[in-house]
Each structure stands twice: as structure tokens, then as C-alpha cells.
């Protein structure tokens, strides 16, 4: 029997990329899976995809940038065995070029969004909370100071929450470059060149897939001896 049979899981941001891949894994493993997103259209499309996996999945509209919205969701949602937060919008740009309004919005979305979920949503003490950060916390780029700071803040938040919320286990997964819809706004040829350039630099010889990160999330949710830690799924990006 699956470790997730009769367990209830919430994946915030579970409509695309890592979030959808993670939700898919939970559904396949038999969990009663709830995905949350602020886009009703994305929820509908993701639920249609998850329905084909044969498990149980439902959707809930949720804007993690809203204090009131998160509180209302948490009050109505009940208790979960595992919660995963993959949502967050963080525009790229140099500090001297990125508008402050965009910088504030990025922090409000990815960091404070995760903070709001951790603060309000009820998780069983025997369960887990997993946040999605990013390897830029360890290896910033020339136009990613903001993303580096947000990811580092999330990793620090995980360490603090692991103590405050114990025995609930709290961890983070920090991916490297992934082949996900996040990059669909780029011109196709430029996007492929970016993937190829990064793959040549990485020890594993390829960029990541959303499923690579989903596997790490499920590892952390089942490993009862892992808390306060960050798992880097970056193809060796932090050392290359």
C-alpha cells in the first residue's frame, strides 16, 4: 500500500511546472490531493490532466499574496498531512534596473506567500511542509540579486520553522535551471540555446525537469528524519 493512502495533500501552485509534477506524483501515489492557484483557467486545465491519472484531485482558487484570502482558505480547508508551496512570481532584473514595485511584488509573492501558508494552513504534526526555493541562494547570477535573496530567505525560514513547528517537519527544495513553462515567454531558439549552454556546464550534462524536483519533494515528505534542511536538485549547478 502506498505511503500516501488515506493522506491529504495540498500543493500550492500545483497547476504547472514543478507544482503540477508534484501533484501528479501525489495523485499516482494515492493521496487525496488539493491543488491551489489564483487562475481558475489553469486549475481547470490541471485538474483535467490529473483526472487522467486515476486518483483523487480537487482544485481551489487561492491568491497567496492576499492575507485575507489565505486566512479564509485555511479556515475552510481543514487539516493536511503534507503541504507543498511551489507558487511565486519573481521577475528577473538588475537591482538598478528592476522597478521597486516589481521587487516588492516578487518578495510578496514568493517569500510572503509561503510565509502566509506556513502561518495559516493547518498541517498534522506527523506531516510535512515543503517550500520551493532555488539554487540562486548559493550561486547568484549577474541579474538575479533579488531572486538570490528571496531564495536564501526561504531557506532560512525553513530552518526557523523546523524549530518553531516541531515535530512537524519543514524542508525546502532548491532547483537549478528547469525545462518548465516558466521560460515559455522566451523566443524558442534563445530558450534552447540557454538550455544547451547550461547543460554543457553541468556535471550531469542536462538541464532539469519538473519531475526531478517532484521526486525530491516526495522524498522529504516521507523521510521522517529530515527537517530544517534544503535539498539542492540542480545538476551540480552550485559547484560547476
Give a yes or no: residue 160 inside a domain.
Answer: yes
CA distance 4 to 17: 22
Give a yes or no: residue 195 inside a domain.
Answer: no
Peptide bond into 167 cis (omega under 30): yes
- Please state which of the ranges 8-17, 69-78, 103-112, 177-186 shows the lowest mean pLDDT: 177-186
For 79, the 3-state DSSP assignment is strand
Question: Phi, psi at residue 196, to the nearest 5°?
Answer: -65, -40
**What region does 166 belong to: left with phi over 0, alpha with psi -120 to 50, or beta?**
beta
Contact between 175 and 208 (Cβ < 8 Å)? yes
CA distance 65 to 46: 21
CA distance 38 to 1: 34
pLDDT in tens, 13-32: 999 999 999 999 999 999 99
Give a yes or no: residue 78 inside a domain.
Answer: yes
Average pLDDT of the chain to the nearest whole number = 95
Please report where in the chains the cell 541562494 appears, as a residue.
137
Please report where in the chains the cell 538598478 appears, as a residue.
96
Ranges of beta strands (E only) in 133-235 are 169-175, 178-179, 208-209, 230-233
Give a yes or no: residue 194 inside a domain.
Answer: no
Q: Print the domain residue range for 42.
A: 8-182+210-232
CA distance 175 to 160: 21
pLDDT in tens, 74-125: 999 999 999 999 998 888 889 999 999 999 999 999 999 999 999 999 999 9
Give a yes or no: residue 191 inside a domain.
Answer: no
CA distance 15 to 144: 25
Confidence (pLDDT) at 54: 86
98: cell is 528592476
pLDDT in tens, 187-208: 999 999 999 999 999 999 999 9
Give a yes or no: residue 215 inside a domain.
Answer: yes
User: In this structure, what CATH number is given to the domain that contains residue 28?
Assistant: 3.40.50.720
Confidence (pLDDT) at 195: 94
Whether the per-residue pLDDT at 1 is higher than 70: the answer is no
Nearest to 108 by CA among 71, 150, 137, 65: 65
pLDDT in tens, 140-162: 988 899 999 999 999 999 999 99
Count the domains in the chain.
1
pLDDT in tens, 33-63: 999 999 999 999 999 999 999 889 999 999 9
Give a yes or no: residue 190 inside a domain.
Answer: no
Amino acid at each position: 500500500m502506498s505511503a500516501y493512502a488515506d493522506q491529504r495533500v495540498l500543493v500550492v501552485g500545483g497547476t504547472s511546472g514543478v507544482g503540477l509534477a508534484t501533484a501528479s506524483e501525489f495523485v499516482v501515489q494515492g493521496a487525496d490531493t488539493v491543488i491551489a492557484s489564483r487562475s481558475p483557467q489553469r486549475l481547470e486545465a490541471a485538474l483535467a490532466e490529473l483526472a487522467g491519472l486515476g486518483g483523487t484531485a480537487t482544485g481551489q482558487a487561492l491568491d497567496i499574496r492576499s492575507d485575507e484570502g489565505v486566512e479564509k482558505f485555511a479556515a475552510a480547508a481543514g487539516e493536511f498531512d503534507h503541504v507543498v508551496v511551489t507558487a511565486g512570481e519573481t521577475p528577473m532584473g538588475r537591482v538598478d534596473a528592476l522597478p521597486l514595485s516589481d521587487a516588492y511584488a516578487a518578495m510578496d509573492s514568493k517569500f510572503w506567500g509561503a510565509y502566509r501558508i506556513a502561518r495559516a494552513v493547518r498541517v498534522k504534526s506527523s506531516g510535512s511542509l515543503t517550500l520551493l526555493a532555488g539554487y540562486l541562494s548559493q550561486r547568484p547570477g549577474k541579474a538575479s540579486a533579488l531572486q538570490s535573496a528571496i531564495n536564501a530567505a526561504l531557506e532560512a525560514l525553513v530552518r526557523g520553522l523546523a524549530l518553531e513547528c516541531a515535530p512537524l517537519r519543514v524542508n525546502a527544495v532548491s532547483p537549478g535551471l528547469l525545462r518548465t513553462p516558466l521560460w515559455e515567454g522566451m523566443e524558442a531558439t534563445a530558450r534552447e540555446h540557454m538550455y544547451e549552454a547550461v547543460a554543457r556546464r553541468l556535471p550531469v550534462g542536462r538541464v532539469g525537469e519538473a519531475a526531478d524536483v517532484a521526486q525530491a519533494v516526495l522524498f522529504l515528505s516521507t523521510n521522517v528524519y529530515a527537517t530544517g534542511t534544503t535539498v539542492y536538485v540542480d545538476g551540480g549547478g552550485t559547484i560547476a
